[in-house]
Structure 1
Amino acid sequence: MAACHIACWREAYQGLVPDHVLAAFDPDRGAAAWARIAHEHSGKTALVAEHGDEIIGFTGYGLPDELPAPAERELSAMYVRAPWYGTGLAQALMDSVLELHLSCYLWVFERNPRARAFYTKYGFVPDGTARAERFTTTTEIRMVRPAVEFRP
């Protein structure tokens, strides 16, 4: 997970996140962090995409971290390795975790048009909330997708 996560950051955020931040990611520290996350009972779930024995993408979702919560569910991670861009892998991950009857929110870099366009296809819209991302101070915006009501 750590290797995929670090590679995804370096591939997706080149030019958006300072180079020294991307270069500083340590696979051993990342693996230790993922091991801690795996043993926590945080109400979060990770879904992993593999090709052979390599992790090529993942998503994290579950109970909101924010109070008051802007939605019922938080999409806390959505990462796909660059060689898999445009293959439908991100769509398959998203389709596997979104539940139409639950509202959902996420944070995305404000200057990441590729990701913002992807999330917009799923009904996410900016709600006007912004913050500095904790590692990079790059501005993130919150996007929210309302629940879809089913009527018989």
Structure 2
Amino acid sequence: MTDPSPPWRIAPLAAEHVHSLAACHIDCWREAYRGLVPDHLLDAFDIDRRAEQWERIRVRYPGSTHVAVVDDHVIGFANAGASRDESPITRTELNALYVRAAWYGTGVAHDLIRAAVTPGTPCSLWVFEKNPRAQAFYRKHGFELDSASRTEAFTPAIEVRMVRGGEG
């Protein structure tokens, strides 16, 4: 009989995972956004600088980031917290959810989103307009497009907002 448990474990971000998370974050952007985000931006990412940013987030917002770990290597992560929108449509925002391409379709992203935002909790997120794969994933978790869009902060790409539930 085979063990049904996955090869990864989901855990709140700890200091020992920060550097691996930074590498994962950069790799995920390069895997998912090549052709959508200009190459010079993707190629300019620096692991040490990204690790410093994640360490600040870990310390300032404990429990807001969850990582999927296999053999002490981060293969995916999710980050959620208070909405950063000027006029929030929900209190909670899923700020990031990334999984290395080799782990697409394994269920790790499903585990991460459930760890980051309790199922059924009203939540919003921003996703690239030209990322139908991600939009389909979020629909499986109850998110729907609303009419909001914006230009992403440091690329010319357009983001669209997806929302699950509303503030009750």
Q: TM-score, normalised by structure 1?
A: 0.90
Deviations 1:98-152 (A, max 9, x none): 3245210000000001001101111111111111111212100110000599xxx
Contact 2:65–2:116, Cα closer than 8 Å, also in 1: no
The aligned amino acid for 2:127 is V
State which of 39, 49, 56 in structure 2 corresponds to 1:29. 49
State which of 130, 137, 159 in structure 2 corresponds to 1:118. 137
Q: CA RMSD in A?
A: 1.9
Query: For the structure 1 residues 97 and 30, does the alpha-carbon distance in structure 2 shift closer, same or farther, using more than 3 Å as the test?
Result: closer
Whole-Å Cα distance in 2 between the matches of residues 58 and 146 of structure 1?
23
Whole-Å Cα distance in 1 between the matches of residues 95 and 159 of structure 2?
13
Query: For the structure 1 residues 40 and 96, does the alpha-carbon distance in structure 2 shift closer, same or farther, using more than 3 Å as the test?
Result: closer
| Percentage of matched positions with identical amino acids | 50
Whole-Å Cα distance in 1 between the matches of residues 81 and 66 of structure 2?
11
Q: CA deviation at 1:2?
A: 0.8
Query: 2:14 aligns to what?
Result: none
How many equivalent residue pairs? 148
Contact 1:101–1:147, Cα closer than 8 Å, also in 2: no
Deviations 1:58-113 (A, max 9, x none): 00012111232111211011000011001110011122233245210000000001
Q: TM-score, normalised by structure 2?
A: 0.82
Contact 1:133–1:140, Cα closer than 8 Å, also in 2: yes
Whole-Å Cα distance in 2 between the matches of residues 46 and 135 of structure 1?
22
Deviations 1:15-51 (A, max 9, x none): 111111110111111111112222224x870011000
Q: Unaligned 5+ residue runs, structure 2?
A: 1-20
The aligned amino acid for 2:83 is P
